[in-house]
Structure 1
């Protein structure tokens, strides 16, 4: 009997001081509290979100709705933090365990706060659309991404400080490491600075048709930190380092207001003056009255007899089309070629082609004999 009593006392002592000196019953209840919050996590977060949605529904702006949508993931973590907090309060542990649990809860709170700010930056960025008139959209995206990265670093540093890890020496060590890396990655930083200059100067944007002399011609798809992706017209992507785009001449065809046509039409030398004048006047009149071409003073328009070439009388045609789309521009050029040929043929003239004339001097059949 005494042995059973001793065993019962042992079980009771283990029950009261079985885990870090804490009553096992209190540990089980605390675990049940945490599991309850964990199971009801979705329900609790939905209740909070529903309350907030009722408040945002009263406003006309969509910004608060986007912010609320961004806050949904951090709010799903909040019940877990609450469960840990109430479980710790119920157990009432002291010493090292209490300190560890306190640091864990504080870390989760910091993580939730900075996660919320991290997600909010994206919907807030839409407030700065007016700045797109001053700065390129890609540059603004870079700035907002840098702000999100800064928030992530500050949040990480705060959590490290909670756990007693000093951030200052780490930053100093990273500074020395950064100097060493910078010396070996000069090209990377050159490309980064060149990319910022490209965006700040608004040389081109995503979707523009550009030509980099001696490098590539195509459509800009992405402007990155180190390189820019340009897709050629044969659909092959080309990754161009930003330094090449910064140092070389870049032609932005998308920014054209009109598109130019510049030709020299060679007419035969037997073409009369009246024919030349009639051809010139008819071509100029056709271009002037065609809605696809631009008239002065919006853009220059010249149809003039220009030069006496080796085998032709050259007529200069210089005009601009309203469209800058390549396919439509080619169609207008084709139409103009056909019209010029019809006008030249109507006037009874012809087009010259490169030719050479050979003059042979007639020599006498006999030469006088030399007199002795």
Structure 2
């Protein structure tokens, strides 16, 4: 704990005289050997500060890699600068203790060094708030995406508030009254903005769970399908396929079942090929085998073992023999899906024609005056 000397401000010559006497007495009492060692230590730290920072950041990066998190160049550079400042500040603190300055100088030096350290920490924290907030939605620390912009702004405001409070505390500025007022105001605002806070927390939950991102096509179960345009402080903007924007409170999305179509890797193809009842077994099996061959060789379908691949004669319908084709496309792109369905439809027509049979159509039998008559609906 530092000691402080009080001066009579009404007698400035006496203050200057006392300070000069104190300084001269301290200079006379300084151990030359301790002062020399302190200076050498300080110079060495200043010369090797970059190496020390590289070593510390390297160890921190290696630790994070164990948790599958990597640091971007922007984050690494910011951390190195902050660590260099902190290392030099700590060296100055140790050097000052070695030469035991007078209480007045010692107290002032401690305040200055503490202020420099705090400014370095909070300034770096402020600059890197965006990359660290981006951890909510991405796998590695990089630049903040636009849906995390509001979270970054809140984080920066909190950092400035905590930094200023800490700095004033170092200089022993009494802000207890102001903090009490801020606390009362904060409690009142919390009560008045319960809905905003609930939606804020829900929005952070949605992003941390990575349920969806900007540009994803989602379906709020039981409501509608649309594309996520922006995730904001209170609500998420979703534009439906009817091009009507909908602002959905984050809390509602958090409590709803959300289907993210953009997260799927493949699209399902479920087609029933109806053949006329007069088809022979050989003709039906030839169509089935040709469909299996098309599925394997056309290059439009996902063929890995985990993908469902069912092409079988499934049932006898009222007017047809049905062949079920239940497979998956290679990708999830809608245009690619339409091209796959077009190729499959044309291939079915050619396969059925080559087998010498026809596709079945729904028919009904109507009896008039006891005479049967077949007619199409």
**TMscore range, shorter length:** 0.5 to 0.7
Q: Which of residues 244, 253, 258 is equivalent to 2:261?
A: 253
Per-residue deviation, residues 255-303 of structure 1 (Å, max 9, x unmatched):
2122110122222222222221111111111111121212251411111
Per-residue deviation, residues 332-354 of structure 1 (Å, max 9, x unmatched):
11110111112112223222233
Q: Secondary structure at the match of 2:230?
A: strand
Distance 1:135 1:212 in 2: 30
Which residue is equivalent to 1:221?
Answer: 229
Q: Tell me the CA shift for residue 321 of structure 1.
A: 0.8
Instruction: Report 1:152-231 matches (<5 A).
Output: 152-155=160-163, 157=165, 167-231=175-239
**Contiguous gaps of at least 5 residues in structure 2:** 1-49, 55-71, 83-115, 372-377
Q: Which of residues 356, 364, 370 is equivalent to 1:356?
A: 364
Q: Tell me the CA shift for residue 232 of structure 1.
A: 3.5
Q: Tell me the CA shift for residue 316 of structure 1.
A: 0.9
User: Is 118-127 or 143-152 further displaced after alignment?
Assistant: 118-127
Which residue is equivalent to 1:322?
Answer: 330
Residue 277 in 1 paired to residue 285 in 2? Answer: yes
**Contiguous gaps of at least 5 residues in structure 1:** 1-54, 72-108, 364-372
Q: Tell me the CA shift for residue 126 of structure 1.
A: 9.8
Larger radius of gyration: 1
Query: 1:129 and 1:253, CA in 2 relative to 1: closer, same or farther beyond 3 A?
Result: closer
Aligned pairs, how many?
273
When the two chains are superposed, the root-mean-square deviation of aligned CA atoms in Å is: 4.5
Per-residue deviation, residues 140-199 of structure 1 (Å, max 9, x unmatched):
767654442222223554788899996434443444444444444333222222212212
Which residue is equivalent to 1:308?
Answer: 316
Query: 1:362 and 1:256, CA in 2 relative to 1: closer, same or farther beyond 3 A?
Result: closer
TM-score normalised by L of structure 1? 0.58
Per-residue deviation, residues 96-153 of structure 1 (Å, max 9, x unmatched):
xxxxxxxxxxxxx999879944753358749979972599966976765444222222
User: Is 224-233 or 125-134 further displaced after alignment?
Assistant: 125-134
Which residue is equivalent to 2:128?
Answer: 121
Distance 2:190 2:162 in 1: 23
TM-score normalised by L of structure 2? 0.58
Distance 1:312 1:269 in 2: 5
Q: Secondary structure at the match of 1:191?
A: helix
Distance 2:249 2:231 in 1: 10
Q: Which of residues 274, 286, 290 is equivalent to 2:294?
A: 286
Distance 2:237 2:272 in 1: 37
Q: Secondary structure at the match of 2:358?
A: coil
Q: Which of residues 315, 340, 347 is equivalent to 2:348?
A: 340
Distance 1:217 1:291 in 2: 30
- The answer as to whether partners of 1:222 and 1:228 remain within 8 angstroms in 2 is yes
